[in-house]
Structure 1
């Protein structure tokens, strides 16, 4: 029997003008780390209850952003998957998380998207 997937907590970073706004020097990894940690806090789940972190990033800025964000957010034993798709990569990450939960592969997944146009190499 398929499990039901539900969004139980949300968080987002502030938005600023690319290349000249207040976040011009803030890397996508930092934004992801802060957001993943806040979603876990708001969910009320213990870090060890999180099975996976899936993040979408449309402009590649480095390797394994989801895994690095998970470790930095206090989830060292949690793997991470990065979706790299222009437009809707965050929604694709959420869709993958829901499918994994519904298939019974995972019970709790942090999923979303991250981007920092001003810090893309």
Structure 2
């Protein structure tokens, strides 16, 4: 959600790509745990509030992390970001028209994806143990 709103990861490590020690998964995890998230000023107050809620480092205070799943869901649905813009009953009943519904000819139709990505050879990597 942060990436869609801000256009970048909340955990970007700027200027550290060349440093092997800082270009690792472990270092990324360290950044996630320790680095303070900066919310762009260009975002609305509601957008900033929901991002801060979802990205709260304390899981006990993080939005949607209530141990009771029903309460967690209600907490998210009642957040000011969603409360005024989404009719949850219509959404759950699949009665909401999507804002964009691309026409596709098959489940392998790639016409809506840039060839920069579709022409790229797959890079298969093994799962972490």
For the superposition of Structure 1 and Structure 2, which TM-score range results when normalised by the shorter chain? under 0.3
Give the TM-score normalised by structure 1.
0.27
Query: Which structure shows the higher strand fraction?
Result: 1
Larger Rg: 2
Give the TM-score normalised by structure 2.
0.26
Identify which of structures 1 and 2 has the higher relative contact order when contacts are C-alpha pairs closer than 8 Å and 6+ apart. Answer: 1
